Structures are given as structure tokens and as C-alpha cells.
Amino acid sequence: MRIGELSRRSGVPVPTIKFYVREGLLPAGRLTSPNQASYDDGHERRLRLIRALLDVGGLPLAAIGEVLRVMEDPEQPLFDVLGAAAKSIAPSRGGDPGSELEDAREDVAELLKRKGWLCEAGSPGGESLAEVLVALRRAGHGSFVELLDDYAAAAEEVARADLDYVGRRVAREDLVEGVVVGTVLGEAMFAALRRLAHVDASARAFGEEARG
Amino acid sequence: MRIGELSRRSGVPVPTIKFYVREGLLPAGRLTSPNQASYDDGHERRLRLIRALLDVGGLPLAAIGEVLRVMEDPEQPLFDVLGAAAKSIAPSRGGDPGSELEDAREDVAELLKRKGWLCEAGSPGGESLAEVLVALRRAGHGSFVELLDDYAAAAEEVARADLDYVGRRVAREDLVEGVVVGTVLGEAMFAALRRLAHVDASARAFGEEARG
DNA sequence: GCTATCCGATAGTGGAACTATCTAGGATGG
DNA sequence: CCATCCTAGATAGTTCCACTATCGGATAGC
């Protein structure tokens, strides 16, 4: 197919497709003549993945590029694919390190020990968590961390479900994509469900009269 | 205190504070003379909240402004504060509505019925969820929705914990802030925990050798 | 009086994600 | 074989967002 059809099928404008090719997010089409190229289903699939990660996952294009590069490389151990997906999500906010972050990192390490989780506190997730704890304290809501254990228990459940999902895939390509999609879109899915659960929980707690 | 000290205490540059005042995110200081103003702890607190929502929550300033406006208005029912916080998070992506979204909305309605949740499918959370389902299907990972029920169960747990947290607050101001912080930063906290849980779960499933 | 700081206003910056335009060439129906 | 539309590749421009810089006065505190 030519770029016009790819655009029609995927819903992405032609100039945007060209832009993604320039940015290295999408492989160029196979040239059939100096100014004519053909695209296949792989391009369409890739394009849909990019849009999903961008629109729903909210990842910046640069992060999407990194994830795709790791995904594509068959040399990369699967473990690193998961790591890359996780790392790309982290907004990587900068700020003065300070002792607050140190304290938070210790809290994270304690949590991991308490739960017996097999991961280091220095991993991307651990760093993100420490940053969240710092932000909570700086915003005057340090007591929110009391919910850490409840949250962790729920996260464990979700992670089990996620792993079950990717475990069902056989081809490496599918598996890798499953990890990425699961990590990124799963986050959005859970966030939406959590908001719905909030509505339900507060309707039950405060009663229907709170709506009027 | 004057703006310089506010800046030092909060870690936000003076021009940025002025910018936030211009944008209506932060009330102006109390003028003590035509070109001199004084700021108090409330300003500092507000500033920390803005930075937390911006840096960790990733909310755009416009959304933060809306949330703050709802928070400040004592006329607003608490229920709406939660709604505003939830709505602001939704990335509000636009695209052709299509029948895909209709189908997804039905799936959401079915889920709510199945779980017996007291909320309408048309709420912000429901719309977000429907959009995620559409994105999953468009990306060729429609089977990921099989995890919906597991995710929903975990979301229920988290929501219970959240409500417990805000329920402990007495003053309306604190309560409202608790809702906002809980909604926004709680999401980031859970996301980080989920990534840690992924590492743990895959370490257990694939064994330690997967690291090398 | 002197220097650091401040107020308010206006204009400029840099990054992200496109979008527009242009040239030169190819595809295709009649 | 010609008119019309499509295409590749290149360059430049746009929009939005979150700041950041600069300026002309005025004030604080010694």
C-alpha cells in the first residue's frame, strides 16, 4: 500500500507519518522507485502502537522511540524490555536531590523488604516511588504514605494478572509488545477504573444525597 | 514574607511564582505598599501543591487551575471536587467517535453492572476507560480487556483505602485537598508500585537467570 | 544615601508535536 | 501520451505550553 492508504487506514495524517519516519519511530517504506514507496501491515500495526502509547499512555515521542528500539532488538533480554517500558513512563523530574529523597528511598527499601519483593530500591519504579513520597511530604500530605501497604497489595494483584497475560503469548514479538502495551495502557486502564471505584465508594459512603 | 523568601522556601523561582499569580493559580500577595507585597504560609502551601500536581501528577497548569478553583469554592459539593479532580486527569484525547467507542462504552456499562458499582458509564472515568479499551483494540491487543475484572477488583481495594484516608480528615479544606492529592498523587504512587511488582513477579516467574 | 530587593508589565525562549509548502518525479484512466 | 492526482524528500513554519528575561520605576533596611 502507499502512504495515502496507510494514512486512511490508521487515521494518521500523511505529513505526520512522514514526520514519524524522520524521527525514526516508523521504518521508511520500501522504495519501488526514486519517489514511490510501499508500506505493509507491519507499518500499520506500528503506527497504531505509536498512537496508543502517545494518546492513551501519554508517552513523549522520544520515549516511544526508545521503547520501540528496545522492542525491535532481538538481542535485548526480555527483562530489559520490561525495564525500558517502565523507565520510559517515569516522567524523570529533576530537582535538588536533598535529604528528603534519601529518606524516601529508605522508605521504599523498607517496603520492599516488608513485602519480600525481589527488586532493588534503585530500579526505575523504586526511584519513581521515592519521588512520589517526597512530593507527598512536600505537599503536606505525608500521612498518605500510610496507604503504601494497601496500594502495594493491590499492585501485586494487578502485576499477577499482567504477567498472566503476557505469559499466554508465544512468539517473542507478540510477547514483547504485550509487555509494552500492558505496562503503558494497563496503567491508563487501572487509573480509569480507580476513578470509577472512587465514585462508587464515595456514593456508598456519603450516600446518594451527596449528588444533589 | 516577601516573594524572595517564598521562592527560597518553596524552591520555585521568583519569575515562575509571578507567572503562576498571573495565570490565576496562586493568589497575589497582600500589598503593603504600591510595589511591595507579602506572602504567607498559605501561599507556600499552595505553591507546593501546584508543584506536586505538576511534577508528579503531570497535570497541565490549566487543569491545575480548574481543580484549585473548585477546591477553593466552599459552595461546591465535595462530590464535585472529586469529579473535577478526576476529570482534570483525563487527557481528553479527541478523535473520530466511531462505533468502536460505542462498543467500548457498552463494555464499560457491562462491567459496572457486573461489579454492581454505583456510577454511570458516562462519567469521566467511564469515558476514559472506554477510550483505553478502544486504544487496546486498535493496537491489536483487544484480549488485554480480559484482565478488566482483575484490575477492577484491585481498583476497588485502592479506592477503599483512599476513602479511608480522606475520611480521617475533619476540616473541609484538608478534606478537599486530601481528595485532590489522593486522586492525583495516588495514581502516580500506584503506577510506581505496579512497576516494582512487575519486576518482582517476573523475577519469580522467569527466575534470576533472566537478569544476566 | 546606597544597595539589594521588589512590583508589574511586556516580550522572548525552548521543547514538543505537528503542519505547510515546494520541487521533482511517478501512477493511472481515458 | 496526456491530464490529473499521488508521492518522496527537504525545509520552513505553526501552535501550545511552561516558563524566563528584561525593564522602569519604587521600596527596605542599613
How confident is the prediction along chain B (212 residues), in pLDDT tens digits per residue? Answer: 999 999 999 999 999 999 999 999 999 999 999 899 999 999 999 999 999 999 999 999 999 999 999 888 878 776 776 667 667 776 655 555 678 999 999 999 999 999 999 998 888 899 999 999 999 999 999 999 999 999 999 999 999 999 989 888 878 778 888 889 999 999 999 999 999 999 999 888 876 554 43
Separation of B15 CA and C12 C1' (Å): 14
CATH of A1-56, one of 3.90.1640.30, 1.10.1050.10, 1.10.1660.10, 3.40.50.720: 1.10.1660.10
Q: What cell was used for A27?
A: 521504518
CATH 1.10.1660.10 residue ranges for chain A = 1-56
Cα–Cα distance for residue pair A83/A17, rounded to 1 Å: 28
Alpha-helix runs per DSSP H in chain A: 3-10, 14-22, 41-51, 61-72, 78-89, 98-115, 124-138, 148-167, 172-206
Protein residue minimizing CA–C1' distance to C6:
B36
Contact B165 A148 (CB under 8 A): no
Q: Which of residues 32-91 of B touch strand C (CB under 7 A)?
A: 35-37
- Residue A37, C-beta contacts closer than 8 angstroms, at least 6 positions apart: A2, A3, A28, A29, A30, A31
Contact B79 A206 (CB under 8 A): yes
Separation of B18 CA and D28 C1' (Å): 20
Does nucleic acid strand C have an atom less than 7 angstroms from the CB of A56?
A: no
Does nucleic acid strand D have an atom less than 7 angstroms from the CB of B92?
A: no
Find, in chain B, the residue whose alpha carbon is nearest to that of A43. Answer: B139
